[in-house]
């Protein structure tokens, strides 16, 4: 089964921005008045390219055959058996390609862990004292609830995704799957969006 992880807030705001831009492009095209409209289109184009590359495109896809990292300007596919150590700080770092000088590090653009989110997760992991009822009887926590609380104590969304990647990589190595090299390709959609934005800026400068 394939799971896609991304920054939900950034993705939603990016989609809202794209809808806003689509309406404004229609309005500027329908009421085109020369240089002011062209400058406005150039500004919208530049900002839209940035929003798409940074907020809409990035995603981490955990699939059956490997890990697909869609970063702003390139896409990297790592077979599970080629993945080594996985560490999580503010972002997820995936080591691959062997050991020593051959080892490479892939940093995933999403999900990331902010200091505020990690602090909140750590507070969530601190056990809370039981509250007394009407007759002063303390509430008890079942073993299942306690185990679940301990499992997620201090963990952020990035930590959870990092655990998923680590577990799948270890399972693939346990099955003696071949550690084939990573496949890296340029993000042609991001390049196309940036080229269009630059073309709009050049056109606005020429008309001005």
> Among 200, 205, 185, which Cα is nearest to 49's?
200
Q: What is the pLDDT at residue 204?
A: 87
Sign of torsion over alpha carbons 77, 166, 94, 15 = positive
Q: What is the pLDDT at residue 156?
A: 85
- Kindly provide the residue ranges of all beta strands, DSSP E only, lying in the chain, ordered along the sequence: 3-5, 59-62, 66-70, 74-79, 83-88, 92-96, 104-108, 183-186
Decide if pLDDT at 144 tops 90.
no
Q: What is the pLDDT at residue 128?
A: 54
pLDDT digits (tens, 9 = 90+) for 10-25: 999 999 999 999 999 9
Cβ–Cβ under 8 Å, residues 152 and 125: yes
Q: What is the pLDDT at residue 14?
A: 92
DSSP state of 129: P
pLDDT digits (tens, 9 = 90+) for 105-128: 999 999 887 767 666 656 665 555
Dist CA 107 CA 110 (whole Å): 9
Dist CA 48 CA 187 (whole Å): 16
C-alpha 35 chain-centroid distance: 38
Q: Tell me which of 124 and 129 has the higher pLDDT.
A: 124
Band (pLDDT 50/70/90 cuts) for residue 134 is low
Q: Tell me which of 136 and 37 has the higher pLDDT.
A: 37
Q: What is the pLDDT at residue 152?
A: 53
Task: Say what the pTM is.
Answer: 0.78
pLDDT digits (tens, 9 = 90+) for 159-205: 999 999 999 999 999 999 888 899 999 999 999 999 999 999 998 88
């Amino acid at each position: 089964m394939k799971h896609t992880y991304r920054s939900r807030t950034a993705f939603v705001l990016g989609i809202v921005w794209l809808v806003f831009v689509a309406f404004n492009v229609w309005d500027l095209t329908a009421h085109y008045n020369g240089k002011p409209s062209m400058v406005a289109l150039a500004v919208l184009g530049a900002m839209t390219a940035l929003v798409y590359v940074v907020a809409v495109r990035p995603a981490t896809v955990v699939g059956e055959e490997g890990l697909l990292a869609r970063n702003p300007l390139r896409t990297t596919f790592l077979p599970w058996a080629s993945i080594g150590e996985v560490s999580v700080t503010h972002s997820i770092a995936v080591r691959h390609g062997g050991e020593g000088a051959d080892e490479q590090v892939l940093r995933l653009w999403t999900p990331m862990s902010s200091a505020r989110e990690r602090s909140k997760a750590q507070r969530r992991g601190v056990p809370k004292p039981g509250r007394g009822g009407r007759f002063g009887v303390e509430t008890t926590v079942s073993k299942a609830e306690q185990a679940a609380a301990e499992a997620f104590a201090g963990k952020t969304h990035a930590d959870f995704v990092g655990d998923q990647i680590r577990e799948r990589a270890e399972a693939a190595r346990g099955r003696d799957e071949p550690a084939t090299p990573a496949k890296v390709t340029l993000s042609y959609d991001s390049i196309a969006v940036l080229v269009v934005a630059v073309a709009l800026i050049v056109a606005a400068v020429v008309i001005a």
